[in-house]
Amino acid sequence: MIKNAAEIEKMRVAGNLASKVLIMIEDYVKPGISTEELDRICHNYITKQLDCIPAPLNYRGFPKSICTSINHQVCHGIPDKRILKKQDIVNIDVTVIKDGYHGDTSKMFYVGKPSIQAKRLVELTYEALSIGIKTVKPGATIGDIGNNIQVFAEKNHCSVVREYCGHGIGKEFHEEPQILHYGKRGEGIELKEGMTFTIEPMINFGKKEVKLLPDNWTVVTKDHSLSAQWEHTILVTKSGFEVLTKRPEENI
Ligand code: MF3
Ligand code: CO
Ligand code: CO
């Protein structure tokens, strides 16, 4: 669970490369493009420009190189022929492997101009991620992260998805510990310098319940309400945290 200095350096490299994919794809996320096309562009960039492996491809049978989750889709959407249209919101989730180590990050994109509700949900979910990240320091617990995210989301009359969570990350895509986005202050294990994990809250505009579609991957809200998610890979440092997948536009 604790990474040494050499491993941390590799995690920094992998995290930074994952962030570059989200920066690159931004210009392509426009009305009229299919999610399959976004997958193709990311796949080529990851393999040819970055010389990385796209971790989702063939992971437990997942057929594509990125996840694309639109509107009421919560996570793990499979890129396909569906065409993005004005007012859609889409999460693109990228995980790359470089030199044996994983970097995992996702962001929300607006397709055209968003509705007022969609913008509110997307911004609030980013804020939930930021709040979670700012909780990270040695001695804080996993429950502290989850509690801070949950209290913030619910104060804003939105709900936190329970079935999926953040995760330790390193040589493996999903390692211990699980990082829940809800919970009680002081519960769970204490964070220690050198741990690397993701925080990736999924926040629904309506109720928290989700269901799995027959494709066995795509998760959607039961009540069909909009859902948003943002994800970063985080390192616990001596004094707090480092965001390994931070983009230049971000000040966290
Ligand atoms: N990137 C997702 C996560 O944040 C996992 C996707 S698994 C896949 O943990 F198989 F769907 F790619
Ligand atoms: Co993740
Ligand atoms: Co991810």
The residue whose CA is least distant from atom 2 of ligand 1 is 93
- Does residue 62 have its Cβ closer than 6 Å to ligand 1? yes
Determine the pLDDT at residue 226: 98
Determine the pLDDT at residue 127: 99
Alpha carbons 99 and 239: distance in angstroms, whole number = 27
Alpha carbons 170 and 196: distance in angstroms, whole number = 7
Determine the pLDDT at residue 132: 99
Atom of ligand 1 nearest to the CA of 198: 4
Max Cα-Cα span within the chain:
48
Tell me whether strands 73-75 and 241-243 are parallel, antiparallel or unpaired.
Answer: unpaired
Exposure string of 31-51, with b = 16+ CB inside 10 Å and e = fewer, is: eeeebbebbebbbebbeeebe
- Does residue 65 have its Cβ closer than 6 Å to ligand 1? no
Q: Where are the domains of the chain?
A: 5-243
Determine the pLDDT at residue 155: 98
Atom of ligand 1 nearest to the CA of 231: 4
pLDDT digit of tens for each residue in the chain (252 aa)? Answer: 999 999 999 999 999 999 999 999 999 999 999 999 999 999 999 999 999 999 999 999 999 999 999 999 999 999 999 999 999 999 999 999 999 999 999 999 999 999 999 999 999 999 999 999 999 999 999 999 999 999 999 999 999 999 999 999 999 999 999 999 999 999 999 999 999 999 999 999 999 999 999 999 999 999 999 999 999 999 999 999 999 999 999 999
Determine the pLDDT at residue 149: 99
* Residue to mutate, 21, 43, 76, 78, ligand 1, most ligand atoms under 8 Å from C-beta: 76
Total-model pTM: 0.98
Q: Which CATH class is domain 5-243?
A: alpha beta
- Does residue 227 have its Cβ closer than 6 Å to ligand 1? no
* Ligand 1 centroid from CA 53, angstroms: 14
